C-alpha cells in the first residue's frame, strides 16, 4: 500500500510503499477513502507531542478516516466486508499506524457506520473534530436549552461542529472568528458573530449577553482563553481543547478536554448528519502526494471548515 510516512521529527512526510497490514484478533482491515487533516497532525510531525504519545519510526500519521471494510480478523463480527465506516483512529498504545495510507487495521470497537447521505470525503472529515465538539459542548460543557455559549475559533474544523451542536441543543450561539467567516457562521446557525481582530470580545459581549455567557468553548488558546474567561457569567463554565487552565482565576469552572475515540458518539453524530442537523464544509481536498501542502495549510491556524486528503 502507499502511505505518507514520517521518518524523523521535524522532517516532511514522504509517500512510500509500505506493507499492507493484516487484521489481528477483533480487528478489521479498512480500505481508506479519505482522511481529515487536523492541527495535531502537524504538531505530531514536529515532535511537539513526542513525550505524551508512544511512537516508533517510520510513523504513518493521521487519526481520521472513512472507508470500506475489506477483511475481518478472527472474532471480528460487528461489521461485514463491504460496510462503509468512519472512525477516530487514535490508539493509546502506539501511534505508528495512522490514516494517511491506503489501508489501516483497527479494532472494530473504534468504528461506526458512515452516514449514508454524504461522501467519503465529508465523512472522513468528521470523526476527530466532530467528537471533540461533541465531548466538549454536550458531555463536559453540559450545554442545555436556553444557555448562551461563546465559541472561540468558531469557523475552524472543531468550531464549525460546535456551533451546529450548540444550536441543536437549543442554545444561543455567539461565534468568534474573523469577519470573512461571519456569513459562513450565520449559515451554520450562529445567532451573533464577533470579529476578534477589530474589537475586544470581553468589552462588547455585554451588549449581547448582559449577564455574561453560561459556557465558553475555547478552540484557540493563549490570551484568547483568558479573554473568554472574562465573558463568563458567575458560575459559568469554560471548556478548552487548547489551554490547560494556567493563569485562570480560581473561581472559574474550568475543564480541559483531550478527545477520546467513541463509536457510540459517532453513531449519534451519524444520525444527526443523516437528519440534516449537522453539515460538513470541505474547503479543500488534497491528494496523498500533496500531504505536506495540507499540513502547511492546517498550520496557518486559519482554515475554514475542514480540509481532507483523498486516497
Ligand atoms: N484537545 C483536543 O482533543 C483537541 C482536539 C481537536 C483540536 N484541538 C486543537 O484545537 C485547535 C483548533 O482545532 P481546529 O481543528 O478547529 O483548527 P482549525 O480548523 O485550524 O481552525 C482554527 C480556527 O480558529 C480561528 N481563529 C484563529 N485565531 C483566532 C482568534 N484569536 N480568535 C478566534 N478565532 C480564531 C480561525 O478563524 P479565522 O480564520 O476566522 O481567524 C480558524 O477558523 C487546534 O489548536 C487543535 O490542535 C485539540
Same domain, 177 and 248: yes
Return d(Cα 157, Cα 130) in angstroms, integer: 8
Report the residue among 48, 132, 158 best suited for mutation to probe ligand 1: largest number of ligand atoms under 8 A from its CB.
158
Same domain, 247 and 142: yes
Same domain, 6 and 100: yes
Distance 70 CA to ligand 1 centre (A): 34
Residue nearest to atom 26 of ligand 1 (CA): 153
Same domain, 133 and 252: yes
Distance 54 CA to ligand 1 centre (A): 25
Complete edge-to-edge strand list for the sheet that includes strand 2-6 = 14-17, 2-6, 59-60
Q: For residue 92, give every residue at least 6 positions away whose Cβ sits within 8 Å of its Cβ, in sequence order, or none.
A: none
Distance 220 CA to ligand 1 centre (A): 5
Sign of the four-CA dihedral 118, 122, 125, 129: negative
Alpha-helix residue ranges (DSSP H) falling in the chain: 39-46, 120-124, 127-133, 157-168, 182-188, 201-208, 223-229, 263-274, 291-299
Contact 90, 63 (CB under 8 A): yes
Same domain, 61 and 177: no
Query: How confident is the model at residue 287, as a pLDDT?
Result: 98
Query: How confident is the model at residue 96, as a pLDDT?
Result: 81
Sign of the four-CA dihedral 232, 237, 243, 245: positive
| 270 occurs within a structural domain | no
| 232 occurs within a structural domain | yes
Quick one: which atom of ligand 1 is closest to the CA of 258?
A: 3
Total domains in the fold of the chain: 2
Same domain, 251 and 299: no
Of 278, 275, 283, the C-alpha closest to 304 is 283
Return d(Cα 141, Cα 71) in angstroms, integer: 39
| Nearest-10 Cα torsion for 14, 303, 54, 245 | 160
Distance 48 CA to ligand 1 centre (A): 17
Quick one: which atom of ligand 1 is closest to the CA of 224?
A: 31
Residue nearest to atom 24 of ligand 1 (CA): 153
Per-residue pLDDT of the chain (311 residues; tens, 9 = 90+): 999 999 999 999 999 999 999 999 999 999 999 999 999 999 999 999 888 888 889 999 999 999 999 999 999 999 999 999 999 999 887 778 999 999 999 999 999 999 999 999 999 999 999 999 999 999 999 999 999 999 999 999 999 999 999 999 999 999 999 999 999 999 999 999 999 998 999 999 999 999 999 999 999 999 999 999 999 999 999 999 999 999 999 999 999 999 999 999 999 999 999 999 999 999 999 999 999 999 999 999 999 999 999 99
Distance 97 CA to ligand 1 centre (A): 25
Same domain, 82 and 31: yes
Same domain, 59 and 120: yes
Distance 185 CA to ligand 1 centre (A): 14
β-pair type (59-60, 14-17): unpaired
Sign of the four-CA dihedral 218, 222, 226, 227: negative
Same domain, 133 and 121: no
Domain of 159, CATH number, reads 3.40.50.720
Distance of CA 144 to the CA centre of its chain: 22
Distance 27 CA to ligand 1 centre (A): 33
Helix 39-46 vs helix 291-299: angle between axes, to the nearest 10 degrees? 100
Range of the domain at 220: 129-256
| 181 occurs within a structural domain | yes
| 120 occurs within a structural domain | yes
55 burial class (0-12, 13-18, 19+ CB within 10 angstroms)?
Answer: middle
What is the DSSP-derived secondary structure letter of residue 79?
S
DSSP 175-189: EES-GGGHHHHHHHT
Q: Coil, strand, or helix at residue 219? A: coil
Query: How confident is the model at residue 266, as a pLDDT?
Result: 98
What is the DSSP-derived secondary structure letter of residue 289?
G
φ/ψ region of 47 (left if φ > 0, alpha if ψ in -120 to 50, else beta) reads left
| 60 occurs within a structural domain | yes
| 296 occurs within a structural domain | yes
**Residue that terminates a domain, selected from 214, 238, 256:** 256
Distance 72 CA to ligand 1 centre (A): 36
Of 21, 120, 17, the C-alpha closest to 71 is 21
Domain of 39, CATH number, reads 3.90.180.10
Report the residue among 48, 53, 92, 153 best suited for mutation to probe ligand 1: largest number of ligand atoms under 8 A from its CB.
153
Return d(Cα 132, Cα 259) in angstroms, integer: 5
| 262 occurs within a structural domain | no
Residue nearest to atom 46 of ligand 1 (CA): 39
Return d(Cα 281, Cα 304) in angstroms, integer: 8
**Residue that terminates a domain, selected from 219, 241, 256:** 256
Query: How confident is the model at residue 51, as a pLDDT?
Result: 86
Same domain, 134 and 190: yes
Same domain, 144 and 230: yes
Return d(Cα 56, Cα 94) in angstroms, integer: 8
Give the tens place of pLDDT for each residue, 161-210.
Answer: 999 999 999 999 999 999 999 999 999 999 999 999 989 999 999 999 99
Ligand 1 lining (C-beta closer than 6 Å): 38-40, 128-129, 132, 152-153, 155-159, 176-178, 181, 196, 219-220, 224, 241-242, 257-259, 298, 301-304
Residue nearest to atom 2 of ligand 1 (CA): 258
**β partners of residue 3:** 16, 101
Query: How confident is the model at residue 54, as a pLDDT?
Result: 83
| 292 occurs within a structural domain | yes
Same domain, 58 and 170: no
Amino acid at each position: 500500500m502507499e502511505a505518507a510516512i514520517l521518518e524523523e521529527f521535524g522532517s516532511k512526510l514522504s509517500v512510500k510503499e509500505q506493507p499492507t497490514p493484516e487484521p489481528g484478533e477483533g480487528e478489521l482491515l479498512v480500505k481508506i477513502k479519505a482522511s481529515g487533516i487536523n492541527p495535531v497532525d502537524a504538531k505530531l510531525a514536529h515532535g511537539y507531542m513526542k513525550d505524551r504519545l508512544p511512537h516508533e519510526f517510520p510513523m504513518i500519521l493521521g487519526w481520521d478516516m472513512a472507508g470500506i471494510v475489506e477483511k475481518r480478523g478472527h472474532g471480528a463480527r460487528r461489521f461485514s466486508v463491504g460496510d462503509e465506516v468512519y472512525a477516530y483512529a487514535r490508539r493509546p498504545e502506539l501511534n505508528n499506524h495512522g490514516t494517511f495510507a491506503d489501508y489501516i487495521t483497527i479494532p472494530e470497537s473504534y468504528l461506526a457506520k458512515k452516514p449514508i447521505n454524504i461522501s467519503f470525503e465529508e465523512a472522513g472529515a468528521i470523526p476527530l473534530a466532530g467528537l471533540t465538539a461533541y465531548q466538549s459542548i454536550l458531555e463536559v460543557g453540559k450545554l442545555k436549552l436556553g444557555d448562551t455559549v461563546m465559541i472561540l475559533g468558531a469557523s475552524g474544523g472543531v468550531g464549525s461542529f460546535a456551533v451546529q451542536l450548540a444550536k441543536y441543543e437549543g442554545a444561543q450561539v455567539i461565534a468568534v472568528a474573523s469577519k470573512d467567516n461571519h456569513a459562513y457562521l450565520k449559515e451554520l446557525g450562529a445567532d451573533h458573530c464577533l470579529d476578534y481582530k477589530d474589537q475586544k470580545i470581553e468589552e462588547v459581549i455585554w451588549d449581547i449577553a448582559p449577564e455574561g455567557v453560561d459556557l465558553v468553548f475555547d478552540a484557540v488558546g493563549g490570551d484568547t482563553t483568558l479573554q473568554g474567561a472574562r465573558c463568563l457569567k458567575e458560575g459559568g463554565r469554560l471548556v478548552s481543547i487548547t489551554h490547560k487552565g494556567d493563569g485562570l482565576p480560581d473561581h472559574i469552572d474550568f475543564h480541559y478536554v483531550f478527545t477520546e475515540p467513541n463509536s457510540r458518539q459517532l453513531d449519534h453524530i451519524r444520525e444527526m448528519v443523516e437528519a440534516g442537523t449537522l453539515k460538513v464544509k470541505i474547503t479543500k481536498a488534497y491528494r496523498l502526494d500533496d500531504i505536506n501542502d495540507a499540513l502547511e495549510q492546517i498550520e496557518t491556524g486559519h482554515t475554514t471548515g475542514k480540509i481532507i486528503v483523498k486516497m
